[in-house]
A and B are shown apart, each in its own frame.
Chain A
């Protein structure tokens, strides 16, 4: 394995995970970010991830339909299970005690981060540029997640510095899994379509259950629609130019 892609992978995935800590920064400065801004960041990341999911599933279908479908179904079920397991339905409905919010969110962020790591790794295996692009999209998503998490933690009495640490810790599986997947790529080649499907399914479901509805709740629908539409369509068009 040439060392350069590994370095790129480490830098990208490490930077993306570290970006989560940025979410805690405004709280350390004593200036919580405006809801609309966080909503627009959600929409931006959501559109990028939606476009990335579309590209990944297309790359998978070039290689094998059945495996892609099985992988995509697994990705959807995994992400759906996270919502149940972490009790996110109740979190949306606001029936969760403030002290429990932080704990539930760490659980959610940590479990999502695993699927995101798989997606990042599989994208990097496929094409270095696609991987870097997905890492960028996930970094934006991580900042948004960091804000929600830090908000809940600081609201529950955790110091902002510790909250920043917890944010990054919750995301640590992202670079680790991306790296592991990349290292194992030659051995995993036969199931690559399934992993592409898994990446696409979990990204799509994550976007549709978290990022998009969160964005609508936080920012005006017009701004959200423009951000989502422009980024998703932009990524789909980018493929025609780049890949």
Chain B
């Protein structure tokens, strides 16, 4: 293990973090921010987040199912607690405030926390060999694009700028390079924590989809439209995970 290897791990971590920002790009071409677009954006984010979560659960079960379940329960508790804490507070996020700002804050917190486990996954994978590590890092980088899209799909309809969407998307992935290096150096110490982290992210995301994103989507557009967008994005996410 030398400095060169550590730089490679760090480089792939940074690359995968920056990839998250690409998810904001489609919103350069969408200007109107009416309730129907909010519903469609929510549906897209829901499909992507459900697909990502199911993949994380399978990955977690690989390392230990009970730990994954505990992690998922902690993820649900985190969202409930977060909403409770934010309930009576005035929250502002940049120029935004109110319920939208709270949701963005929670989503960014979840996404950022979940990047810690992704970073650990990259580091642990490099510990198993450079080829495996490169493969996993590239896969996570590609997965990060729809995650950035999911974040942007929640932020943009609330009025955030595209630049802010991209910036916060990248921010949410910064723990990846930060965690990849120590995880690579101390693989054996980090491996047991992984299923908890994967389960946490999955539990929090699934719960957020069903508690917040989908109910709002159904209120603002037809059932068929919600179902179609969720089906297509969920399907795309499943294919992406399957073939990368």
Contact = CB atoms under 8 A, between A and B. Distances in A.
**Chain B residues touching A, range:** 35 or more
A226 to B, nearest CB: 7
A interface SS class: helix
Contacts of A83: 223-224
Contacts of B61: 237, 240-241
A45 B216 CA distance: 21
A76 B233 CA distance: 13
A224 interface: yes
Interface in A213-243: 213, 216, 221-222, 224-226, 228-229, 232-233, 236-237, 239-241
A54 B54 contact: yes
Nearest to A55: B54
A205 interface: yes
Interface residues of A, number: 35
A210 B227 CA distance: 10
A224 B218 CA distance: 14
B211 A225 contact: yes
A225 B207 CA distance: 6
A233 B202 contact: yes
Given A92-B223, A213-B223, A224-B210, A240 B203 contact: no
Contacts of B224: 80, 83, 89, 209
Interface string B93-119: 000000000000000000000000000
A37 interface: no
A180 interface: no
A226 B215 CA distance: 13
Contacts of A106: none
B54 A216 contact: no
A230 B211 CA distance: 12
Interface string B182-223: 000000000000000000001100110111001100100011
Interface in A161-194: none
B202 A205 contact: no
Contacts of B57: 233, 236-237
B67 to A, nearest CB: 11
B218 A213 contact: yes
Nearest to A239: B58
Contact of A232 (B76, B206, B214): B206
B206 A233 contact: yes
A143 B61 CA distance: 32
Given A204-B227, A209-B227, 17 more contacts: A54-B238, A58-B238, A61-B239, A80-B228, A83-B224, A89-B222, A92-B223, A208-B230, A209-B223, A209-B224, A209-B226, A212-B210, A216-B218, A222-B211, A225-B210, A229-B206, A241-B61
Pairs of residues from A and B, 10 with the lowest C-beta to C-beta distance, nearest first: A240-B61, A208-B227, A225-B210, A225-B211, A229-B206, A209-B223, A209-B227, A228-B210, A213-B218, A236-B57
Interface of A: 54, 57-58, 61, 65, 69, 72, 76, 80, 83, 89, 92, 201, 204-205, 208-210, 212-213, 216, 221-222, 224-226, 228-229, 232-233, 236-237, 239-241
18 contacts: A54-B238, A57-B238, A76-B228, A83-B223, A83-B224, A89-B224, A209-B223, A209-B226, A212-B214, A216-B215, A216-B218, A224-B210, A229-B203, A229-B206, A229-B209, A233-B53, A236-B54, A240-B62
